[in-house]
Amino acid sequence: MTQAEFQRYQEQTFDSYVKRLIRNEGRNAKKELSRRGEREVTPYHDLPAMSHEDRYVLEKLAVHSGAGGVEALD
C-alpha cells in the first residue's frame, strides 16, 4: 500500500465514521424528542383556567371610637 493509498483509506474510513455518527445522533435526537413528548404535560397556555380572580366590593367600615366619634376605615 502506497502512502497515497493509505491516506485515501484513512480519509474514507473517517468519512464513513462521521456519516454514521451524524446519522445515529439524529436518530437519538428524534427518539429523545419522542420520549419527551410522551412524558410532557400539556403546555401551560393550553390548560383551562385553574383559578379565577375574586372581585369583592370593598365597603367602608365605620368604627366607633371610644370618644363617641366615627372613623371611616379604608
Sketch the domain layout of the chain as residue ranges. 1-41
pTM of the model: 0.48
C-alpha span between 46 and 41 (Å, rounded): 10
What pLDDT shows up at residue 38? 85
Spatial CA neighbour of 61 closest among 47, 71, 50: 71
Sequence-ordered strand ranges (E) for the chain: 61-64, 70-73
All three cell numbers of 68, joined, read 363617641
pLDDT over threshold 80, residue 67: no
CB atoms within 10 A of CB 2: 7
Question: What pLDDT digit, counting tens, does each position of 18-65 carry?
Answer: 999 999 999 999 999 999 888 877 666 665 666 666 676 666 665 555
The answer to whether 71 and 63 are in contact (CB under 8 A) is yes
